[in-house]
């Protein structure tokens, strides 16, 4: 609970009747940080955001805003602003009046307000749109105005609830960059809710990955990608192979497993004893097909499907009953490979992640790109 934190959540819990939406969430969000709450729908990310905004009151726990307890402060007295999923621009007000609204509530003089409105319109690159009505703007433009309206009061933190969800793919990607640039410009803490893992990965300084009200991991994108703390996180982010294995040997630094009768080595701390049922995970792009260099793990497999995806090929291979997918850059793909042939698959021991088998139920099957 350092004083330079923008927001502290301490054991924050929210129950709706008997359903627990958020369970004992603790996190420190630093000033100027781009922090994302990522998870599938119903994971409690929006509820968490609404509690920070003051639109929901936590059942237990504390919310601190710049060090001060705001747990029971109503939304209109909190120095945080939200960009809603559908923007919630007031349809009966022009763009200018929409942005003026929070200033008016703070009783800021019209002349002062005018300069601030102009400044924030410039920031979102929407000068000259002040007299339009929200209905006369495109989705992306509305998005920018909603952003401007939430920023004009210079809040301690800006909360964004799936702000790009309503936009089409290309616009979404463009807006991601805009958002990131604006955040860097104004230096305000952003708390960003999304179910789109690639969006969270591109923009965030840190991500909290949530499921069923629990924060599974709170870390940097790099950490989350390379060292997922649970099988759920591993499956939700990126493209991951999951195969069953049994621990043969484990000295705390290196773990040797049996996968379909072949040996697989994992070079990392695994908390499983000899003979334990394990879930072995390898990123698809870390699996090499017929490698030239020698690596620790080598298994032979039968090539069962090839899918060409433009920049890369996805090769599905069978090892006994298990299935492994390898994603290979198109430029390095060996055109001689055919379905039904035998290939050698290889990967580094550092790239093998091992979880207890019980976590298999948390694995999200078709994560891929966000739908």
Partner 1 sequence: MRGRGTGLKIYGTLIFVFLYFPMVIVLLFSFSPTRTIVGLSGLTLKWYQELFQDPRLLIAFWHTVMVGLCAVAIATVFGTAGAFFVTRVEFPGKGVFRALVMLPFLLPGIIMGVTLLIFFRNLNVHLSMFTILMGHVSFTTPLVMFQVSSRLSRMGPTYRWAAMDLGANPVQTFWHVTLPMIRTALIGAGLLAFTVSFDEIVISYFLTGTWMTLPVYIYGMMRFGLSPKVYAISTIILILSLVLITFMARYTGRSADTYRVRKRDAG
Partner 2 sequence: MKRRISKPGEFIKGVPIAVWLLALVAIPLIFTFIMSFYSSSGLVIDRTLTLKNYKLFFTDPLYARILFKTIRLAVAISMLSIAAAFPLAYMVSFKVRRGRNLLFMLCIIPLWVSYLVRIIAWRTILGNRGVINSALMALGLIKEPLTFFLYNQFAIAITLTYICIPFVFIPVYTALEKIPRNLLDAANDLGANELRTFYNVILPLGLPGLVTGFIFSFIIALGDYIIPLQLGGTQGIMFGNLVWSQFGFAFNWPLGAALGFILFIIAVAILGLTSKFGSTEGGFLGE
Q: Which is nearer to partner 2, 21 or 148 (CB)?
A: 21
Sign of CA dihedral 215, 216, 217, 223: negative
Tokens representing residue 84 in the block: 């809603």
- Based on CB atoms, which residue is closest to partner 2, 19 or 335? 19
Choose which of 46, 143, 153, 235 interacts with partner 1 (CB under 8 A).
153
CB of 73: closest distance to partner 1 in angstroms?
12
Closest contact distance (angstroms) between CB of 148 and partner 1 is: 12
Name the residue among 114, 179, 180, 191 with its Cα closest to residue 152. 114
> What residue 17 binds from partner 2, partner 1, none (CB within 5 to 8 A, per partner kind)?
partner 2
Q: Does 102 help bind partner 1 (rule: CB under 8 A)? A: yes
Q: Which of 6, 10, 53, 209 binds partner 1 (CB under 8 A)?
A: 53
75 binds, among partner 1, partner 2, none (CB under 5 to 8 A by kind): partner 1
Tokens at 348, concatenated? 């580094």
* Nearest distance from C-beta of residue 21 to partner 2, angstroms: 6
Q: Which two tokens stand for residue 181?
A: 């640039």
15 belongs to the binding site for partner 1 (CB under 8 A):
no
Give the nearer residue to partner 2 in terms of CB position, either 86 or 369.
Answer: 86
- Among partner 2, partner 1, none, the one that 1 touches (CB under a kind-dependent 5 to 8 A) is none
Instruction: Please identify which residue in 92, 292, 309, 321 interacts with partner 1, judged by CB under 8 A.
Output: 92
State the binding partner of 154 from partner 1, partner 2, none, CB within 5 to 8 A by kind.
none
* DSSP-assigned letters across all residues of 58-121: -SEEEEEETTEE-TT--GGGSSEEEE-TT----TTS-HHHHHHHHHHHTT--HHHHHHHHHHHH
Task: For residue 90, state whether it binds partner 1 (rule: CB under 8 A).
Answer: yes
Residue 21's nearest CA partner among 210, 284, 302 is 210
**307 vs 291: CA distance, rounded Å:** 19
Residue 220 CA, distance from chain mean position? 10
Rounded to whole angstroms, how far apart are CA atoms 216 and 208?
Answer: 7
Residues 291/295/297/299 CA torsion (nearest 10 deg): 30
Cβ at position 17, least distance to partner 2 in Å: 6
Decide: is 106 part of the binding site for partner 1 (CB under 8 A): yes
For the chain, the distance separating the N- and C-terminal CA atoms, rounded to the nearest angstrom, is 37
Which partner, partner 1, partner 2, none, binds residue 55 by CB below 5 to 8 Å per kind?
A: partner 1
Segment lying near partner 1 (by CB under 8 A), choices 31-39, 84-92, 235-243, 292-300? 84-92
Question: What does 57 interact with, of partner 2, partner 1, none (CB < 5 to 8 A by kind)?
Answer: none
Burial of 245 (C-beta count, 10 Å sphere; 0-12/13-18/19+): buried
Q: Which does 92 bind (CB under 5 to 8 A by kind): partner 2, partner 1, none?
A: partner 1
Which residues are near partner 2 by CB under 8 A?
16-17, 19, 21, 47
Cβ 141 vs Cβ 162: under 8 Å: no
| CA–CA gap between residue 56 and residue 71 (Å, rounded) | 10
Site residues for partner 1 per CB under 8 A:
53-55, 74-77, 80-82, 84, 86, 88, 90-92, 101-102, 104-106, 133, 135-136, 149-150, 153
């Amino acid at each position: 609970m350092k004083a330079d934190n923008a927001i502290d959540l301490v054991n924050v819990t929210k129950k709706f009747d008997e359903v627990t939406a958020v369970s004992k969430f603790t996190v420190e969000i630093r000033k100027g940080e781009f922090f994302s709450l990522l998870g599938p729908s119903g994971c409690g990310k929006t509820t968490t955001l609404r509690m920070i905004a003051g639109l929901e009151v936590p059942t237990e726990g504390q919310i601190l805003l710049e060090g001060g307890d705001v747990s029971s402060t109503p939304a209109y007295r909190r120095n945080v602003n939200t960009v809603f999923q559908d923007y919630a621009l007031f349809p009966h007000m022009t763009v200018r009046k929409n942005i003026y609204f929070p200033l008016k509530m703070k009783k800021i003089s019209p002349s002062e307000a005018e300069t601030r409105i102009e400044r924030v319109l410039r920031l979102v690159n929407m000068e000259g749109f002040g007299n339009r009505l929200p209905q006369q703007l495109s989705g992306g433009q509305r998005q920018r105005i909603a952003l401007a309206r939430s920023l004009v009061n210079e809040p301690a933190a800006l909360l964004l609830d799936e702000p790009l969800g309503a936009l089409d793919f290309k616009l979404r990607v463009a807006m991601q960059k805009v958002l990131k640039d604006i955040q860097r410009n104004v230096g305000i803490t952003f708390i960003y809710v999304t179910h789109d893992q690639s969006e969270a990965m591109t923009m965030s300084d840190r991500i909290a990955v949530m499921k069923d009200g629990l924060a599974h991991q709170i870390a940097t994108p790099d950490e989350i990608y390379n060292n997922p703390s649970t099988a759920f996180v591993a499956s939700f982010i990126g493209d991951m192979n999951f195969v069953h294995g049994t621990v043969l040997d484990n000295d705390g630094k290196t773990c040797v497993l049996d996968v379909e009768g072949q040996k697989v080595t994992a070079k990392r701390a695994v908390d499983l004893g000899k003979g334990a049922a394990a879930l072995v995970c390898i990123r698809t792009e870390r699996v090499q097909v017929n490698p030239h260099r020698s690596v620790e793990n080598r298994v032979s497999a039968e090539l069962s499907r090839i899918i060409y995806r433009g920049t890369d090929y996805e090769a599905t291979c069978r090892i006994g009953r298990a299935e492994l997918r390898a994603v290979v850059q198109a430029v390095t793909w060996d055109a001689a490979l055919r379905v039904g042939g035998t290939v050698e698959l290889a990967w580094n021991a550092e790239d093998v992640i091992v979880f207890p088998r019980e976590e298999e139920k948390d694995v999200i099957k078709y994560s891929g790109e966000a739908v």
